[in-house]
């Protein structure tokens, strides 16, 4: 894993050619004390975590070796079946989370150079995943699952239109468009799945100028009908006490409506309403982080780990955190939670691939539809890395998040429903 403090030290003493020489940087760091503000230190940790998660996927796929190298773990012992879907899961979910960071682009800073490396890996990975002649060409239309992960891939393009979509070749764009359109054969379930179809069509609208607007309109209208109150939508007509409001519903609903808005549609009322509800849900999520950096393990898909906090990370990215919630308390809370979860032994296998679990390796924490590729949705909890180092989110000292204040006997603002 790259150590940014060591990198900063080398740059400061004019040794850029030693950027990747770990033993030398370690020795120098032992001899010279470097003071790094806490927010910057936490950002470096987040970047290192994102790289640790994404690197095996993008390195393998960029070389057309993902199907060869990625293990397929399934809690239900259905590895053979999940191989039909797990590779697109790994790509789409990884890129959906890493996209805001990549969209910052490259620059001459140590981190900027690292971003360029992963932008290039991502572009090669997209090419190999969507080229029908490629060894790692992926399944976009057989079975139902490809609709889900084509939507996450579409989400990545919407979040990084310049670095991911804009830097693809004309032929690669054609392959991506064909792959996305091929998912139309799949009928989404009457649930959050409607948003998967809508997200794909939103990407097609943004990048081709046309789409099946009925799939978008239907998804928006039904989710508005399924709203249960206080920032929470039903997953279909019924309420489910899980994290799908964060995994899928709030982020994709906002992105789909935003795309319509950018295209000139008169959707301000729906957007403002969805935005207000997302802010409220972010306020709830901030309060779910315990003083110890844990959270309630409720509902299905708990093996997506800190991806459960996508909405809170997204609202931070949009500079739209709720009233009485500071960037510094969100940063500190997410840092404590993510660090606690990612460092549990067994989270990764000996080759760096994620394993099923919430805290380490817990195979029984996965449902039948979960396999190795599914787990990369955790990257969605790191969306705030799309904020540059200079952003106020990374400045200032840590602040206690709400539950930490409450359980340490300090003042905290009381909560109010939307």
pLDDT per residue over 250-261, tens digit each?
A: 999 999 999 999
Q: What is the mean pLDDT of the chain?
A: 93
Q: Is the pLDDT confidence value at 289 over 50?
A: yes
Is the Cα dihedral 163, 167, 172, 177 positive or negative?
positive
CATH of domain 41-407: 1.50.10
- 3-state class of 211 per DSSP? coil
**What pLDDT score was predicted for residue 76?**
77
Give the confidence band of 10 by pLDDT, cuts at 50, 70, 90: very low
Q: 354 — phi, psi (to 5°)?
A: -65, 150
Rounded to an integer, the average pLDDT of 290-300 is 98
Distance separating alpha carbons of residues 345 and 360, to the nearest angstrom: 5
pLDDT tens string 304-354 = 999 999 999 999 999 999 999 999 999 999 999 999 999 999 999 999 999
344 token code pair: 């549990």
Indicate the helix (H) or strand (E) that contains 404: helix 402-407
Distance separating alpha carbons of residues 321 and 330, to the nearest angstrom: 9
Task: Choose the most confident range, by mean pLDDT, from 16-20, 73-77, 185-189.
Answer: 185-189
The pTM score is 0.92
Q: Is the pLDDT confidence value at 14 over 50?
A: no
Q: Is the pLDDT confidence value at 19 over 70?
A: no
Give me the DSSP letters along 47-71.
HHHHHHHHHHHHHHHHTT-HHHH--
Distance separating alpha carbons of residues 269 and 285, to the nearest angstrom: 24
pLDDT tens string 21-40 = 333 333 333 334 568 999 99
**What pLDDT score was predicted for residue 27?**
38
Q: 169 — phi, psi (to 5°)?
A: -70, 165
**What pLDDT score was predicted for residue 200?**
98
Give the confidence band of 46 by pLDDT, cuts at 50, 70, 90: very high
CA 154 to chain centre: 12
pLDDT tens string 164-221 = 999 999 999 999 999 999 999 999 999 999 999 999 999 999 999 999 999 999 999 9
Rounded to an integer, the average pLDDT of 118-132 is 98
In 3D space, the residue among 201, 159, 160 whose CA is nearest the CA of residue 177 turns out to be 201
Q: Is the pLDDT confidence value at 294 over 80?
A: yes
**What pLDDT score was predicted for residue 3?**
59
For the chain, give every domain's residue range: 1-35, 41-407
Between 277 and 29, the higher pLDDT residue: 277
Q: Who's near 344: CB < 8 A, 6+ residues apart? A: 357, 359, 360
CA Rg value for the chain: 21
Distances in Å between the alpha carbon of 238 and those of 96, 232, 275, 417? 27, 11, 22, 20
Percent of the chain with pLDDT over 90: 90
Rounded to an integer, the average pLDDT of 36-58 is 98
């Amino acid at each position: 894993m790259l150590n940014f403090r060591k990198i900063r030290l080398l740059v400061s003493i004019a040794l850029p050619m030693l950027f990747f020489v770990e033993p030398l940087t370690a020795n120098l760091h032992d001899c010279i004390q470097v003071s790094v503000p806490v927010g910057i230190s936490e950002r470096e940790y987040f970047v290192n975590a994102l790289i640790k998660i994404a690197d095996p996927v993008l390195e393998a796929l960029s070389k057309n070796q993902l199907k060869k190298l990625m293990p397929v773990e399934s809690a239900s012992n259905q590895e053979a079946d999940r191989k039909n879907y797990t590779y697109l899961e790994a790509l789409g979910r990884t890129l959906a989370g890493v996209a805001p960071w990549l969209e910052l682009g490259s620059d001459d800073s140590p981190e900027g150079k690292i971003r360029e490396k992963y932008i290039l890996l991502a572009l090669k990975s997209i090419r190999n995943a969507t080229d029908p002649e490629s060894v790692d060409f992926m399944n976009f239309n057989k079975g139902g699952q490809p609709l889900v992960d084509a939507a996450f891939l579409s989400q990545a393009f919407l979040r990084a239109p310049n670095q991911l979509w804009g830097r693809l070749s004309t032929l690669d764009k054609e392959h991506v468009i064909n792959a996305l359109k091929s998912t139309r054969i799949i009928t989404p379930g009457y649930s959050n799945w409607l948003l998967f179809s809508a997200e794909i069509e939103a990407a097609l609208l943004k990048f081709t100028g046309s789409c099946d607007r009925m799939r978008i309109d239907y998804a928006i209208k039904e989710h508005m009908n399924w709203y249960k109150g206080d920032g929470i939508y039903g997953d279909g007509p019924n309420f489910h006490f899980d994290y799908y409001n964060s995994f899928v519903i709030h982020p994709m609903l906002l992105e789909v409506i935003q795309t319509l808005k950018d295209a000139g549609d008169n959707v301000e009322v729906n957007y403002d309403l969805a935005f207000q509800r997302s802010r409220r849900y972010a306020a709830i999520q901030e309060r779910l982080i315990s003083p110890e950096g844990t959270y309630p393990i409720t509902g299905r898909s708990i093996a997506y780990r800190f991806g459960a906090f996508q909405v809170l990370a997204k609202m931070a990215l949009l500079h739209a955190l709720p009233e009485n919630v500071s960037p510094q308390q969100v940063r500190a809370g997410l840092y404590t939670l993510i660090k606690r979860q990612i460092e549990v032994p067994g989270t990764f296998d000996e080759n760096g691939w994620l394993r099923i679990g919430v805290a380490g390796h817990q195979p029984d924490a996965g449902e039948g539809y979960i396999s190795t590729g599914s787990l990369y949705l955790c990257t969605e909890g790191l969306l705030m890395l799309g904020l540059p180092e200079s952003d106020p989110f990374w400045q200032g000292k840590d602040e206690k998040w709400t539950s930490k204040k409450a359980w340490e006997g300090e003042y905290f603002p009381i909560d109010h429903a939307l």
